[in-house]
Structure 1
């Protein structure tokens, strides 16, 4: 897997490489998928998705961060058709997405409403605050989206007095779900009609 280059700073921490690896496995993006990211910030997830999906739409409400996303995207080799939108979700969300990632908690309930209404097949949200994780888990449940909740923490080794010690990152809660079965049951587009290799 090629390294993601992030030469430009968005004044916010990107989703860490180890978290992106788990995220990639949960999203399972394929060349026919349309992936949507809410809150692109540095563009780290956008770059990873643009190496796997056929189409990527990245939303960012802050113009300076969207500019950083664009610059970091240009610094990497990607093949997808990428659209960057300055918008605050749910405004600007496409109706034909196969997979959606929420990197932050702003307006997440309205974004989840959109996911449920349009039958997005894979929905993943990362949360770092315990209280938000609890509320977001309930929001996933209320919309019949929730499939699993993960909590994980990564520690990086460093040398200390000739031996190895570890610095730990903040824990991450990852909520994983799908709206495709619920929408298919209600007469919407069936899960098998959506893109991606599942």
Structure 2
């Protein structure tokens, strides 16, 4: 996995590299895919998706974060087809997306309805708050979108008194599913 540089700050935390690695495996992006993202923030996931998918549409409701995404895309020499839209989801989402990632929880039920209505094959949502994870899991189930829930917990080592101790990041709950057939790798097609 190529390194992602995020020299521009969005005043919000990007999806951590280890979480992105799991996310990319679950997304299973292909060069023919149209990837849609809700909540581009720093552009960390947008950059990774643009390196793999044929087309990317990234929504962000805050103009300063769209600007940050744009700058970070340029800092990573992303040259693929990336359409940045300042919009509140589900408005602004493409009708022809193959894969959808929700990086935030705002309006997620309406976004999931859009996924069902347009037949998005793979849908993944990352959640860091337990209460939202429970409610979002139910929303996925109610729409027959849920295949699995994965909890990603990462710890980083640091030196403490001449030895290594660990500092853990908050867990991320990854809701994985979609409307397509399940492929042999666990993803949907």
TM-score by shorter chain over 0.5: yes
**What is the distance in 2 between the residues matched to 1:152 and 1:34?**
26
Partner of 1:98: 98
What is the TM-score when the length of structure 2 is the normalising length? 0.95
Partner of 2:107: 107
DSSP-derived class of the 1:32 partner: coil
Partner of 1:11: 11
DSSP-derived class of the 1:180 partner: coil
CA root-mean-square deviation: 1.7
What is the TM-score when the length of structure 1 is the normalising length? 0.91
DSSP-derived class of the 1:18 partner: helix
Q: Flag structure 1 segments of 5+ consecutive residues without an equivalent.
A: 182-190
**What is the distance in 2 between the residues matched to 1:64 and 1:79?**
21
Partner of 1:46: 46
DSSP-derived class of the 2:147 partner: strand
Partner of 1:135: 135
**Runs of 4+ displaced beyond 2 Å:** 77-80
Tell whether the 8 Å contact from 2:90 to 2:111 is kept in structure 1 after alignment. yes
**What is the distance in 2 between the residues matched to 1:197 and 1:105?**
22
Deviation at 1:79, TM superposition (A): 4.1
**What is the distance in 1 between the residues matched to 2:17 and 2:37?**
16
Partner of 2:123: 123
**What is the distance in 2 between the residues matched to 1:197 and 1:101?**
13
Q: Flag structure 2 segments of 5+ consecutive residues without an equivalent.
A: none
